[in-house]
Structure 1
């Protein structure tokens, strides 16, 4: 940004007023047209603020996957969903309608809802939201705040306007869904509380899961039970795939029986027969029957390692309630009867590359994989292997994300079978090697993403080898999208590495995850991962890494306003400072300590802490500006206004020299508040307008909204009606751009 200067050398338009040069104010509209600010005119700074175009309307979310072409025998379930829709439309904006959709794994609940949602798409003009709770379930619980964040983001709320706390996100979700005709599909629900927290203000909710959600039914939800396909319906489904000439009616009926009437098992067998057109139905039926009579002798240890009882890195947590229902419904050993044999039949005909990929899926701790991960794990002919598993219906393409990468996932029953197969086919040392490769892949990719998101911030770990990250995403947005998309994998990999004592990889991965957690506020993951990071650093005897881990953990507690927990981590980190020599480690602790003191209304101690942080950042221009900004805020809170202005003067000069425009905007905001506190209203208003202009140019609408609020407050106090009205108009515009304006809030007029 070009900055003009007056004859005395003061920056015109960037907080010059109040620095002793001139009275340099403008009255009237500040958000439209162009105006000139100048002191003793040597150079002139022109603020050009063209009339803003109305923001583009957010895309209507259509997150439920497209249905498959063949679908049979669900008329009763479709009718029940239609009745619920009719009730929802009758209620309009009164309150939402909830439907529970429950049945065995692999019975086709997701496909049923996808088919129905596609047929009734026009009835939900405000969109369809989808969340797979199984993919974000950690140790039996779901990070509901993250799901809510994803929902409001999909509904057009800008990232900077999404609050951190679960309660505030729930309030925002209810606000933005009021009076909307939405369909919300919650897949993998285990507990009624999960569906309650994710229910919008209006519309229709479908909560699907394997457990019977009686609590929701008692509260008025409509139950829809999805059972296995009947023999006739299963035969019809197979006929749709294979045609009339493949197999007799008796063979078809026996095939359906052997597959337990589960579409997942029938799809796997049907895909195998489509690929191998000469394979006879009688042979497939005989093979399945033989496998049921004489199952593969997996050991108990292999089944446990394969994740049949849940836990991190398993094929999916299984609750005691589920285990009981599994027994009642014909599930055997954590699986549905008939599915295992179907997968075995398909597995027997896989090529070597497809089997390699299948073993990697069974070894990988996380729920998703990419071709890049498969290559890193040593799979040959990855594209061929992926296509083969897709055609076999053993994997599916994942729900679209913003990262632009191809991601695939396997049904949890497929993952369970793949884990058993990997443990049977690979010796322990081979599985350990592949796990090492998977962990190294995520460590290096996360480190590369961290550098794209946060640039040259202070890090303990070295940069990853260029060869290991040559296909890593480039650019801040792409890197952050990659971290977000891989979030579930990253936490699962962390647990796996911690379980195996790979301590260096654990703390290094945690250090890189700051880029994700600080940006997206995944507090549950943040705290869980960094507890592992602290333990890993202690095992390694790395005092510097322990300080780093505890500081990052303290910041999570600080942002959640759990100040005692934050202070505990900082105190423990301070005890290790005598064991390290890098002053930057002390600097990060002093900064966190200052933020904590400021939040606890102890500004004098915060001044001392930020002063220490400032000294520790000597030689780091950006660090000096940041700590000066923090120090100025503490001085303001302490009522030491003259000192705050002196600190700001030095920081502005340094930020201008470094072309650090984001910090110039923040410094202008603090200057406005200091000047307001000293009663210099006109100068404060000028500084606040500078902050608005810089934030607008940078496209930081959350910061611009803060600056506009300050302008509004100052203009109201000074009685400047024109500025106040312009600020009110811009505030409404920003709220609409951010997606948080009430739906009945009229759009502000566009400036002519």
Structure 2
């Protein structure tokens, strides 16, 4: 029995894998294996699966998965292998020999190598590195921090191995492993510097300088930083060495490293702080201390993180925002704000999603945001390096949620708010923590006087003191009650106190915490006096807790015009039931959102809630379709069945406007999909997944795509629409495959084929086999891909499915090229060209011509390849496939360089570089290198 964590989580017995089932089950098993023979608290297992806000029956779910793990291991022969899973306070423990776990064998070999002499160390480290099959714990998104720790150990081990091997003179043996890791971690300068040294010692100075130029450009263009001392020293050593006169290409050093670009010239300066709170009162000691902390940012002994903790409604966000506005001028590179939704009804934002939002705010195009969480963190910190920026992270659920979002730059200042103590930030990150209590009575009365006027307070001092006490001395409750008092200027405060007293007596029987009773009392009083339209909008917004909505989506929810929605939202903002952000969107404090959700469930009929969500879904469907047509006007777009057309549908003046809307609203759209699915609007749910998929695929948002795909599959199954289920399974399999979760992708692919067989539809079966072939291809299983494609081709030809036939032939030629069979690839590509030309299918014909050109180029027939590339170019341009257009131009440049000389390649390569850069594709680096050598 062997447990594998250094790649996908797997169990192997007698040379064969064991089917472990779901991602959650493999996450639990991985956590137990990483702490083998040591108890893992059940709370830790729950956190790994759901984060800080688990569902009510989380313990039962975990216990169920553990029972299933026990059964799987027993069936696989665990007793004979000395493996057992047992209960041990405060959780569970997996007993096993650590040598059965590849991660523990790896770490043991690395430990043994440290004190060893170079020959033995090199051998031990070589054995350790050979255990890796890909990124650690791949496919376990909530275990990413554990995987990142192992990945760091792998990179360090590779650097140690390289040092020992270089001292032994084994440069040639290093090249393969170093190149693989340098490609996987292109920003790891230690790996690249050692690769450069190995290349130079192997007589390949030109390749060493190539790696330096490529890495320097990537550091400068992607991260805005210069090479560090290791890389710079390695480069100088290569320059000082004797270059071989017979180098295969000239050694080209393309000048000194560029200065990091100024933020003002390359990216917008973010200014995301919410509006400053009016009539800020209380917490003056903490406020003064925060100002001192912010003003000292950058000095050697200054704390770069300040945490504000305390119960809900106590004024944490108000204090943080007020202090941030006072400090903003000290941070000229901008201010970032992000609600981490740690205590909202929605699931807290994980680090992956939060980093994506922050990077886009820093000017990184969505297509250039890395898929990997660790790379997102590296890029985020590199973007902030050397800058003076203020970051406000609101509503954190835990220290672990915040840690990946902390900048590395000493010039940045981070403010964090949370209802929980963030002792981890204090212990590990040097944060200064301020614990807020409720206002004292004097401060509460002072705030009330500022809100309703000193004359009214002076006229009824005892009533005002009582009102402050009934509000729990919480600023949020006081602001809501003050707005209520101001709605009837002549009404005595004593009457408001009496009404509130009665309301609190009514709520005494409810179990509450964090000041909930006081806030809920204030909310109920305000809610009961709302006009019917305002109360209805308040309730309907509670269907999407944690979301920040633009007025036109609120209008869709309520079934009114955007102007009417704006009016109602203004009235709700006036009584502090919604908050208007700087961008014109409207959100709620999480306590208010919880109350809105309660009121929605209690006061809004279920039929009305479903109708509101149906309107919202239809509005989103139509707007997504409009935006996608603007972004890709030449691509066919599906028509969705909608019952409700918005009174004023959104239009987009330019493709950039449409793409910007899709990017801005993607998180809201995902929230809409989740709640629409929860309410059983299954057809709309899968249609929304289908509509949003081009954006997901275009921006390579594969982590998000997995959850979207699962929602889509479940919704399609609930409708009983097998063809819709096929579409959703294709999406889910593509997401898994793109994340290298090949087992999950293969399982989804097999489900595709099973459903297609059940439908007895040749069209669906050819499409399913084509998708399964793509899964095999991306997993490197080329022969399996060919087998699927040949089955699909046979069906397509037998049933005269000409479009599918052309698709399969084009894909088959791609796989043949990867197999190193250019003659077969050329034959398949020619057949695909003929078939697609008869169908007038420019996208397929263009890709087939690219494949044909690539096959000819592999055979050294550059003139003929150039002809095919020139034929392909207008077709892919007409089809709107920009990545294919860039590929044609890049390949055309190579053919021209061989036929007419390197100078002839400059024009197509420059156009390819522009396209690849706009698309955020890594191929831009390769094209830039080729241009530098022209």
Alignment TM-score > 0.5, same fold: yes
Instruction: Compute the displacement of 1:139 (Å).
Output: 6.8
Structure 2 residue corresponding to 1:514, chosen from 682, 686, 693: 693
Select which of 230, 236, 258 maps to 2:446. Answer: 236
What's the CA shift for 1:419? Answer: 2.4
CA distance in 2, matches of 1:641, 1:570: 37
Deviations along 1:330-381, one digit per CA (max 9) or x if unpaired, are: x716861211111111112211211121221233466233333333334564
1:621 aligns with 2:799: no
> Does residue 1:374 correspond to 2:554, yes or no?
yes
Partner of 1:443: 621
Instruction: Specify the alignment match of 2:702 in structure 1.
Output: 523
Residue number among 287, 290, 300 corresponding to 1:91 in the alignment: 300
Q: Is the 8 A contact 2:540 2:557 kept in 1?
A: yes
Instruction: Establish whether residue 214 from structure 1 lines up as the match of residue 423 from structure 2.
Output: yes
8 Å contact kept, 2:550–2:585: yes
Determine if the alignment matches structure 1 residue 127 to structure 2 residue 348. no
Rounded Cα–Cα distance in structure 2 between residues aligned with 1:609 and 1:625: 13
Q: Distance in 2 between the 1:666 and 1:138 partners?
A: 45
Q: Distance in 2 between matches of 1:488 and 1:661?
A: 25
3-state DSSP of counterpart to 2:533? helix
The alpha-carbon distance between structure 1 residues 179 and 681, as it changes in their structure 2 partners (threshold 3 A), is farther
Secondary structure, aligned partner of 1:187: strand
Matches for 1:387-406 after TM superposition, within 5 Å? 387-400=570-583, 406=584
- Asked if 1:336 is matched to 2:516, the reply is yes
Given that 2:267 and 2:362 are in contact with CA atoms closer than 8 Å, whether structure 1 keeps it comes out as yes
**Runs of 5+ consecutive residues of structure 1 not aligned to the other structure:** 1-52, 299-330, 401-405, 717-722, 724-752
TM-aligned CA deviation for residue 569 of structure 1? 2.5
Instruction: Give the superposition deviation at 1:454.
Output: 3.7
Cross-structure match for 1:78: 287
Q: Deviations over 1:645-697 (max 9, x none)?
A: 56534313534777977744330112334677xxx27546533531313654x
- Residues 181 and 229 (structure 1), Cα distance of their counterparts in 2 relative to 1, 3 Å cut: same
1:418 maps onto 2:572 in alignment: no
Go from structure 1 to structure 2 and tell me whether the alpha carbon gap of 1:660 and 1:685 turns closer, same or farther (over 3 Å shift): farther
Alignment pair present for 1:346 and 2:558: no
Q: How does 1:146-185 map to 2 (within 5 A)?
A: 146-185=353-392
CA-to-aligned-CA distance 1:181-220 (integer Å, 9 cap, x gap) = 2211111111211211001111222221111111112222
- Equivalent of 1:62, from 261, 271, 283? 271
Higher relative contact order, chain-length normalized (CA < 8 Å, sep 6+): 1
Where 1:186 maps in the other structure, the secondary structure is strand
Match of 2:669 in 1: 490
Cα deviations by residue, 1:591-611 (Å, 9 ceiling, x for unpaired): 784486266384994644675
Q: Give the direction of change, closer, same or farther, for the CA distance of 1:155–1:96 in structure 2 (3 Å limit).
A: farther
1:360 has 2:581 as partner: no
Contact 2:271 2:336 in 1 (8 A): yes
Residue 284 of structure 1: SS of its match in structure 2?
helix
Q: Match of 1:403? A: none
The answer to whether the 8 Å contact 1:187/1:208 transfers is yes
Cα distance between partner residues in 2 of 1:72 and 1:122: 22
Does 2:321 match 1:114? Answer: yes
1:104 shift after superposition: 1.2
Which of 384, 407, 411 pairs up with 2:567?
A: 384
Q: Conserved in 1, the CA contact under 8 Å of 2:629 and 2:637? A: no
Counterpart-to-counterpart distance in 2, 1:378 and 1:146? 29
Matched with 1:286 is 498
Query: What SS is found at the alignment partner of 1:89?
Result: coil
Q: In structure 2, how many angstroms separate the alpha carbons of the residues matched to 1:480 and 1:218?
A: 43
Q: Write the distance in 2 (CA, Å) between the matches of 1:688 and 1:239.
A: 72
How many angstroms does 1:482 deviate by? 3.2
Which among 515, 539, 543 is matched to residue 718 of structure 2? 539
Does the 8 Å CA contact 1:127/1:182 hold for their aligned counterparts?
A: yes
Which of the pair is proportionally richer in helix? 2
CA shift at 1:464, angstroms? Answer: 5.2
Give the aligned partner of residue 48 of structure 1: none
Q: Which whole-Å deviations, capped at 9, do the CAs of 1:576-603 have from their partners, x for residues lacking one? A: 4453769599569737844862663849
Q: Return the alpha-carbon distance in structure 2 between the equivalents of residues 638 and 64 of structure 1.
A: 55
Aligned-pair distance for 1:546? Answer: 2.3
Q: Answer whether contact 2:314 2:436 (CA < 8 A) is retained.
A: yes
Distance change (3 Å), C-alpha of 1:458 and 1:67: same
Match of 1:687 in 2: 905
Question: In the TM superposition, what are the counterparts of 1:529-678 in structure 2 within 5 Å?
Answer: 529-577=708-756, 579=759, 586=766, 590=770, 593-594=773-774, 597=777, 600=780, 602=782, 605=786, 607-608=812-813, 614=832, 619-625=839-845, 627-628=847-848, 631=851, 635=855, 647-652=868-873, 654-655=875-876, 663-673=884-894
How many Å apart are 1:628 and its aligned residue? 2.4
Q: Distance in 1 between matches of 2:357 and 2:515?
A: 31
Question: Residue 124 of structure 1: CA displacement?
Answer: 1.2
Work out whether 1:258 is the aligned partner of 2:494: no
Q: 1:58 to 1:217 in 2, by over 3 A?
A: same
After superposing the two structures, state which structure 1 stretch, 611-620 or 180-189, moved more.
Answer: 611-620
Alpha-carbon distance, 1:161 to partner: 3.2
1:166-191 residue CA offsets vs partner (Å, 9 max, x unmatched) = 12111111212112222111111112
Asked whether the equivalents of residues 709 and 732 of structure 2 are also in contact (C-alpha less than 8 Å), the reply is yes
From the superposition, tell whether residues 461 and 683 of structure 1 become closer, same or farther in structure 2 (CA, over 3 Å): farther
Q: 1:181 to 1:287 in 2, by over 3 A?
A: same
Deviation at 1:420, TM superposition (A): 2.3
The residue number in structure 2 matching 1:430 is: 608
Three-state SS of the structure 2 residue aligned to 1:294 is: helix
CA spacing shift, 1:513–1:626, aligned 2, 3 Å: farther
**Structure 1 residues 97 and 440 mapped into 2: Cα distance closer, same or farther (>3 Å)?**
same
TM-score with structure 1 length normalisation?
0.74
Give me the whole-angstrom Cα distance separating, in 1, the residues matched to 2:906 and 2:644.
Answer: 44
Cα pair distance change 1:63/1:582, threshold 3 Å? farther
Provide the C-alpha distance between the structure 2 equivalents of 1:657 and 1:358, rounded to a whole number of angstroms. 47
Distance 1:281 1:256 in 2: 11
If the length of structure 2 is used for normalisation, what is the TM-score?
A: 0.60
Shift of the alpha carbon at 1:383? 3.5
Per-residue deviation at 1:68?
A: 2.0
Shift of the 671–432 alpha-carbon distance from structure 1 to 2, 3 Å rule, reads: same
Give the direction of change, closer, same or farther, for the CA distance of 1:76–1:270 in structure 2 (3 Å limit). same
User: Once the 2 structures are TM-superposed, how far is the Cα of residue 165 of structure 1 from its aligned partner?
Assistant: 1.6
2:399 touches 2:425 (CA, 8 Å); kept in 1?
yes
Shift of 1:566: 2.8
1:61–1:146 distance in 2 versus 1, CA, 3 Å: same
Decide which of 644, 658, 683 is 1:504's aligned counterpart: 683
Decide whether aligned partners of structure 1 residues 657 and 374 sit closer, same or farther in structure 2, where only a CA change above 3 A counts.
Answer: closer
1:280 to 1:681, Cα distance in 2 relative to 1, 3 A:
farther
User: SS at 1:63's partner residue?
Assistant: coil
Q: CA separation in 2, counterparts of 1:86 and 1:665?
A: 48
Displacement, 1:708? 6.7
- Residues of 1 paired with 2:648 and 2:856: CA distance? 47
Relative distance call for 1:617 and 1:501 in structure 2 (3 A) is: farther
Deviations 1:238-288 (A, max 9, x none): 111222221322212111111111111111111122232112111111111
Contact 2:307 2:422 in 1 (8 A): yes
Would the aligned equivalents of 1:97 and 1:205 in 2 still touch at CA under 8 Å?
yes
* SS of 1:69 mapped into structure 2: coil
Aligned to 1:66, the other structure's residue is in SS state coil
Once structures 1 and 2 are overlaid, which stretch shifts more, 660-669 or 350-359? 660-669
Is the contact between residue 655 and residue 663 of structure 1 (CA under 8 Å) also seen in structure 2? yes
Give the one of 322, 334, 350 matched to 1:143: 350
Q: Which runs of 5+ in 2 are unaligned?
A: 1-260, 787-810, 816-827
Contact 1:668 1:687 in 2 (8 A): no
The DSSP-based 3-state class of the residue aligned with 1:369 is coil
Aligned length: 622
